[in-house]
Structures are given as structure tokens and as C-alpha cells.
Amino acid sequence: MKRISYLSIVFPIILLLAGCDEHGDPQADIQLSDTQKASVSMRGQWAQASDATLPFGTTPGVLDDLVLTFRIDDDYNPSQFAADGALYFFEGDNGSWSWTDDTHTAIVLNNIEPVTRIDIMKEGYAIRLSFTYSGPSGGRPKTVGDYGVTLTKIAP
């Protein structure tokens, strides 16, 4: 009787494990859309600024401490966005991001200002981003113009 009770517990567990891979995930091919693949490649933290292009009169090094964080949701779509080290350009709480279209070369930022759009070009483990700064809302514009910088992925 003890043996039957033991087998009635162990047998279902063995059946469950047989349908899982070594990480306990169900074995099934995941088919991602192009948007999901692009989002997965952007996921993580990007920093270590290099090759900055700045408008005339801009303080050198203004983008040196920039760290961008792109998060994705459980369905591999864009979700949270955060920026550190450049509050002059990226300010806000509970930021989010999304792609502007199917080319996956531009990102729209929500709840972040004054920059609300970033153009992206992937370069292996680095991204080249560019944006236009039109000045602070309601204030006197300082060093308005087009900015560019290359960032390297530092964390997934």
C-alpha cells in the first residue's frame, strides 16, 4: 500500500519533468516577431559613452555619464525605460518606450522629456543613438541641436 501511494506521487512528477527542458521550462519553439526580436536586442543597460557629436557651444562630456535602461515585458515587447546621468535631456518617472514603426530604427519615449524620440543604429554590442534637443519646456534654450553618442551594452 505504501508503495502504491509512493508511485502515485512520483509517477506524475516524472511525467511533468519529461515535458520540460533542463531549466524546467516547457519544451516548445518560441516564434518571435521582428518587433519582439528587436526589443530583445535592446533590452538591458547601455552606457560607456564614446564618439559623441555635440552642437557648437555644448559643454564637452555632457553625455559621458549617460546610462539608458530598456526593459521588455513577458511577451518580449518594449515596456520600461530609464535614463541616468543626463537629466538635462531625459527627465521623468515611470518612463516607457516603443518602436516608431516596423524598421526598428527609432524609439518613442513616454513620460520622459524634453527628448521624446531617439534614433537608433545597432552596431553589434553597441548602439549609436541620436536625438534632437529643442531646449527645456518653458525655459531659455541652451545648446539646442542634434546630439549623437555610441553606447555599449553593460548589462542584460
Domain with 101 in it: what CATH number?
2.40.128
Q: Which domain holds residue 47?
A: 32-155
Q: Widest CA span of the chain, in angstroms?
A: 85
Assigned domain for 4 exists: no
DSSP state for residue 58 in the 8-state scheme: P
Assigned domain for 7 exists: no
Element spanning 3, H or E: helix 2-18
**Tens of pLDDT along 55-81?**
998 889 999 999 999 999 999 999 999
What total of structural domains would you count in the chain?
Answer: 1
Assigned domain for 131 exists: yes
**Tens of pLDDT along 100-110?**
999 999 999 99
Cα separation of 117 and 121, whole Å? 13
Cα separation of 87 and 126, whole Å? 22
Tell if the pTM clears 0.95, that is, is over it: no
